[in-house]
């Protein structure tokens, strides 16, 4: 059972094809793992054992006939409880959403996974409406870090990151509006990709607008490429989706990084204070790229921290999410969310458009930057996981989660692909993430760069010790 929970999705599909094991055995193992770790970590809102085992049996029969439904037939997948999934409520971490209703529609990424035979093991935790970079909510409680239960998993896709790290399925769907797959990916030691905006269709449209992305959270870059080949499929409900993918993300993993022009920015030009343990691990990762033949130069992108513009856009989105709530419902909200909603409601349309101007200028600067450099490498987060249940580290002086995530949200504003790769541990035994950013539409390049680090043994860390 333990061995099956440690296998990647790529390895599971290979095993199914060769008849080495059955989707029923694999899903049973993933469900057992989910139920085993849930009391300590709180990665799931719901574990859907009966439905998952039924889907696994159907998958096993397809494999027996030699007729798999698609690329991930029989692979256990979890879904962040922000994305619609038919058959049960999507509560988004909020007590203001009633579980009553038909709940008969899948989000596009969920629909594509279902078409390809994925087995859905459960819904993962999120802060309320995905508003912050840690995972705790009035509806679902606190999600903890698999490497240290006293610390946060990060957020807002913290449940998904913890589930993947702990072996409760190798694939999970997350969302990222300011770092929400990359932050918990870094804190929990897994791979996570925020694809170019529109590459993965989204429906319903997010109130946070074009800041909001959907992305794979996986064991490694190869699994993410496999998942991207599925979830990047078109969906007519998303009017802002990109056109068809040119080729396969899996096929694009080959080729390595020899000759790649890499800009390494350890602190965004001295704007960010990075903890020594994080800086050292990221530097080793960068040295790994150089040893593989990449041309590495220490260079900083030409921008100052756009946090105020991001706040205008983000707080405005939060205000829109909660606009229709009455006074009694507002009292049910996370107090921090209620506070930023009030701030967002005070902004004018001109304030919002001024923030859009900042965003467009940031995009212009990064477009020019990538004329010189193929990828930008930074720390994903300047710190490692801090105490669970807090929005900011105690004593940090930060007011909001954006104070400790300066490497992530700028690339939501520019809509660029960005991934986090685990490259080591700090002195406390907590994971460190390295971020890879490329120009818009260069998702395959991000995946190929990360895959080269995994292939060379530079990326990837030991899983959390068990039992918890």
CATH code: domain of residue 144: 3.90.1300.10
pLDDT value, residue 467: 56
Known active-site residue 92? no
Identify whether 276 is part of a domain: yes
pTM above 0.85, yes or no: yes
pLDDT of residue 465: 85
- In a domain, residue 303? The reply is yes
Is 156 tagged catalytic? yes
Pair of tokens at residue 89: 């409520």
450-460 per-position pLDDT tens digit:
999 999 999 99
**Average pLDDT value for the chain:** 97
- The 3 state secondary structure assigned to 282-332 is HHHHHHHHHHCCCEEEECCCCCCCCHHHHHHHHHHHHHHHCCCCCHHHHCC
Candidates 22, 78, 80, 157; catalytic one: 80
The confidence band for 2, taking pLDDT boundaries of 50, 70 and 90, is low
The four Cα atoms 441, 444, 445, 446 give a dihedral, to 10 degrees, of 90
How far is residue 363's CA from residue 373's CA, in Å, rounded to a whole number?
15
Predicted confidence (pLDDT) at residue 421 exceeds the cutoff of 50: yes
- Residue 263 pairs in a beta bridge with 297, 376
- Are 327 and 296 a contacting pair, CB within 8 Å? no
Q: Looking at the domain assignment, is residue 464 inside a domain?
A: no
Of 1 and 374, the one with more pLDDT: 374
pLDDT of residue 278: 98
Residue 77 lies in a domain: yes
Q: Is 295 inside a domain boundary?
A: yes
Does 180 participate in catalysis according to the annotation?
A: yes
CA distance 408 to 379: 9
Confidence of residue 1 (pLDDT cuts 50, 70, 90): very low
> What tens digit of pLDDT does each residue of 116-125 get?
999 999 999 9
| Kind and range of the H or E run holding 172 | strand 171-176
Q: What percent of the chain has pLDDT over 90?
A: 98
How many structural domains are present in the chain?
Answer: 1
Residue 460 resides in a domain: no
Domain that holds residue 238: 2-455
- Considering 156, 206, 232, 265, which one is annotated as catalytic? 156
Q: Are 182 and 380 in contact (CB under 8 A)?
A: yes
Tens of pLDDT, residue by residue over 218-237, are 999 999 999 999 999 999 99
The single residue of 78, 137, 172, 180 carrying the catalytic annotation is: 180
256-315 pLDDT, tens digit each: 999 999 999 999 999 999 999 999 999 999 999 999 999 999 999 999 999 999 999 999
Q: How far apart are CA 185 and CA 407, in angstroms?
A: 14
Q: What is the pLDDT of residues 142-176, one digit of tens each?
A: 999 999 999 999 999 999 999 999 999 999 999 99
CA angle 109, 114, 120 (to 5 degrees): 95
pLDDT in tens, 303-355: 999 999 999 999 999 999 999 999 999 999 999 999 999 999 999 999 999 99
236 located within any domain: yes
Would you say 33 and 5 are in contact if contact means Cβ atoms under 8 Å apart? yes
Is residue 461 one of the residues assigned to a domain?
no
């Amino acid at each position: 059972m333990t061995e099956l929970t440690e296998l990647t999705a790529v390895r599971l599909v290979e095993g199914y094809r060769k008849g080495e094991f059955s989707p029923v055995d694999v899903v049973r193992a993933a469900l057992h793992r989910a139920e085993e770790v849930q009391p300590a970590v709180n990665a799931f809102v719901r574990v859907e054992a009966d439905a998952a085992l039924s889907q696994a049996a159907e998958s096993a029969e397809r494999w027996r006939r030699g007729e798999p439904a698609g690329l991930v037939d029989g692979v256990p997948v979890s879904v962040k409880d922000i994305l619609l999934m038919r058959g049960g409520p999507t509560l988004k971490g909020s007590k203001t959403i009633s579980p009553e209703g038909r709940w008969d529609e899948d989000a596009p990424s969920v629909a594509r996974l279902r078409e390809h035979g994925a087995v859905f093991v459960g819904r993962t935790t999120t802060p309320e409406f995905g508003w912050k970079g840690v995972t705790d909510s009035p509806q679902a409680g606190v999600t903890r870090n698999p490497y240290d239960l006293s610390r946060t998993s990060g957020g807002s896709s913290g449940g998904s990151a913890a589930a993947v790290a702990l072996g409760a399925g190798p694939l999970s769907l997350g969302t990222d509006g300011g770092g929400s797959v990359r932050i918990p990916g870094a804190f929990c030691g897994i791979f996570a990709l925020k694809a170019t905006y529109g590459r993965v269709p989204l429906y319903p449209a997010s109130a946070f607008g074009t800041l909001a992305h959907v992305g794979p959270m996986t064991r490694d870059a190869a699994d993410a490429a496999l998942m991207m080949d599925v979830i990047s499929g078109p969906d007519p409900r998303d009017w802002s989706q990109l056109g068809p993918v040119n080729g396969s993300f899996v096929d694009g993993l080959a080729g390595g990084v020899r000759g790649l022009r890499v800009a390494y920015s350890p602190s965004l030009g001295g704007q960010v204070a990075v903890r020594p343990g994080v800086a050292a691990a990221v530097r080793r990762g960068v040295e790994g790229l150089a040893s593989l033949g990449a041309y590495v130069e220490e260079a900083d992108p030409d921008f100052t921290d756009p946090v105020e513009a991001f706040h205008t856009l983000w707080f405005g989105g939060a205000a829109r999410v909660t606009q229709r709530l009455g006074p009694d419902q507002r009292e049910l909200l996370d107090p921090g969310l209620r506070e930023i909603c009030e701030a967002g409601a005070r902004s004018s349309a001109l304030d919002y458009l001024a923030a859009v101007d900042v965003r467009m200028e940031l995009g212009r600067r990064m477009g020019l930057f990538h004329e010189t450099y193929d990828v930008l490498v930074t720390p994903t987060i300047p710190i490692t996981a801090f105490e669970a249940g807090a929005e900011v580290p105690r004593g940090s002086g930060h007011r909001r989660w954006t104070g400790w995530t300066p490497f992530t949200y700028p690339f939501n504003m520019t809509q660029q692909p960005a991934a986090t790769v685990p490259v080591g541990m700090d002195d406390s035994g907590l994971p460190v993430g390295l971020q890879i950013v490329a120009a818009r539409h260069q998702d395959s390049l991000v995946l190929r760069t990360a895959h080269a680090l995994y292939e060379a043994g530079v990326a990837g860390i030991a899983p959390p010790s068990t039992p918890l």
